[in-house]
Amino acid sequence: MKINVGISAFMGFFIGIITCYFLWKKIIFKKYIKFLKKAVNKSEKIIKNANEKGEYIKRIKIIHAKKKFFELKSRYERNIFFKEKRIIEIENKIKAKENRLYKKIEIFYKKKNKLESNIHVYNYNIKILKKREEKIKNLYYKQIKILERLSNFSSKRAKNELFKTIIGNAKIQAQSHIQNIIEESQLIAKKEAKKIIIQAIQRLGIEPTVENSVSILNIESDDVKGRVIGREGRNIKALEKATGVEIIIDDTPEVILLSCFNPIRREIARLSLTKLVIDGRINPTKIEEIVSKTKKQIEEEIIEIGKKNIIDLGIHNIHPKLIKMIGKMKYRSSYGQNLLQHSREVANLASILSSELGLDTKLAKRAGFLHDIGKIPESEPELPHAILGMRWAEKYGENTIVCNAIGSHHDEIEMKTLISPIIQISDSISGSRPGIRKNSFESYSKRLKNLEDIALSFYGVNKAFAIKAGRELRVIVESNKINDEETFQLSYNITEKIKNEMTYPGQIKITVIRETRVIQIAR
């Protein structure tokens, strides 16, 4: 009974659920149908509104397109109008140019016809002239034959004789004219050059005598010689070893001779020996001590001398190595002339001459002061001192103008600036003044002989005399071999040969003398 009730309840519950489901489905379906109808109606309204709006936009776009079309059409028509107008103007200009061109063509053809008629006349005249020319040539040849027959000379021979005469006269006249021009220009140039050089030398104001390196030590008595020599010569050996100088003690009273090619060593030895003599204690230990101190003293003195001289001359920014070389110049001489004094003199001369010519005085003074720096080598060099000095100047950062002036002051290299010949001239002035240098008699006599030999090598020279210490050469020619006009050419040729083959300080004057003597004896 209980089981039937449970089944019945369950069946009732199940049937209730099914009934509820169908009822819910029916209600929901109705709502869905209503919602669907509303959605369809709404979509239809949206579509209708969209179609209306699309039609409106379409009409607006059509209106804008028509407006744009009319604007473009009017603009195009306006451009077409202006282009047609421009084309019409160009056509009018072309027509005007064509008309002018046609007129020019007409004028050209008129001139052409006129020219052709003139050409015919010209050709006719040429034919007449050719005929006349042939007649004149025939007459000319007939006259030449008559002249050859009368003079017994052929035309070629007469031409050659005439050419020889004309060329000879022209050469003589040209040489005379050239000589006059050379003499006139030399006279003007010499006056100006002498004026500048004399002013420079006067403003320089340096004495012509200079001091030489000292190599002789004077002592109070000959007793000192024994102490310098020492027992078994140990003192003198120690001194020679320490200084590198040969000490010569002979019979000459109160004199000790110091011999060495290095002037600085010789000066160290002189000062050391002087200090030892004053001190009185001469032994190997004291010698080494004094020589060592003297070397340091000389090195310091060399640097101070270099600095003092560049300050005195107003030269700045010189490398310390070059300053040391400048100081060493004090102990070096050339032909008896002190090198430092010579370099200062050249620097001042170069500065004065460059100022007269409007050049850079500072560079000229610098180049003049350093021009002989190559004469202070540490060892025996294979290069000339000018080239060596130029290389040192380049190495230590000197200006290219200064380097060229140093290297070219003896013509080892080409001069590239105007300062270079000024340094060469200043060096010659300083080295060639009377009494400034000691030239050996052998080189002096050799130079005089070379001068005379050059003059005697020319045709017609009878005698030649080198006078005034080689500053003038007088040449006597034979009057029957050289005439007055040819003496000008001879003097020029001798001058050029001396310039090319000889090296000499200053200048040499060449005087050619031609003399004709006629001697008659009345009896």
Alpha carbons 427 and 348: distance in angstroms, whole number: 11
Res 444: pLDDT = 66
> Of residues 221 and 516, which shows the higher confidence score?
516
pLDDT tier for residue 199 given thresholds of 50, 70 and 90: low
- The 8 Å CB, 24+ separation contacts for 306-313 are 309/340, 309/344, 309/369, 310/369, 312/344, 313/344, 313/347, 313/348, 313/365, 313/369
Q: What is the pLDDT of residue 241?
A: 79
Q: Distance from CA of residue 422 to its chain's centroid?
A: 16
Question: What per-residue confidence (pLDDT) applies to 177?
Answer: 63
- In this predicted structure, what is the pLDDT of residue 343? 86
Higher-confidence residue of 376 and 201: namely 376
Q: Which residue has the higher pLDDT, 377 or 72?
A: 72
CATH number of 314-438: 1.10.3210.10
Query: Considering only 116-125, 317-326, 422-431, which range has the smallest mean pLDDT?
Result: 116-125
The widest CA-to-CA distance across the chain, in whole angstroms, is 219
Q: Which residues of 298-337 are buried (b: 16+ CB within 10 A; e: fewer)?
A: beebbbebbbebbeebebeebeeebbbbbbbbbbbbeeeb
What digits encode the pLDDT tens for the residues 331-373?
777 666 788 888 888 888 888 888 888 888 888 888 888 888 8
The tens digit of pLDDT for each residue in 486-503 reads 888 888 889 888 888 887
* Higher pLDDT among residues 277 and 513, named by residue: 513
pLDDT of residue 231: 75
Distance between CA 440 and CA 189 in Å, rounded? 33
Query: What's the pLDDT tens digit per position in 257-314?
Result: 777 777 777 888 888 878 877 777 777 778 888 888 888 888 888 888 888 888 888 8
pLDDT at 194: 55
pLDDT (tens digit per residue) in 224-267:
777 777 777 777 777 777 787 777 776 666 677 777 777 777 88
Fold observed for domain 206-304: Ribosomal Protein S8; Chain: A, domain 1 (3.30.1370)
pLDDT-derived band at 207 (thresholds 50, 70, 90) equals: very low
**Domain spanning 441-514: which CATH class is it, in words?**
alpha beta
Whole-prediction pTM value?
Answer: 0.46
**Least trusted range by pLDDT, from 104-113, 274-283, 375-384, 475-484:** 375-384
pLDDT (0 to 100) of residue 84: 85
Q: Which of 381, 373, 384, 391 is nearest to 411 (CA)?
A: 384
List strand residue ranges (DSSP E) for 78-222, in order. 216-218
- Confidence bin at 378 (pLDDT 50/70/90): low
| Rounded-to-integer distance, Cα 57 and Cα 49, Å | 12
pLDDT score recorded for residue 214: 43
Q: What's residue 210's pLDDT?
A: 39
The Cα-based distances of 222 to 36, 89, 238, 256 in angstroms read: 155, 127, 20, 10
Residue 7 has pLDDT above 80, yes or no: no
Q: What is the pLDDT of residue 171?
A: 64
Q: Provide the token pair at 336.
A: 């008896």
Residue pair 215/251 in contact by the 8 Å Cβ criterion: no
Strand ranges, E, within 186-254: 216-218, 246-248
Average per-residue pLDDT in the chain? Answer: 78
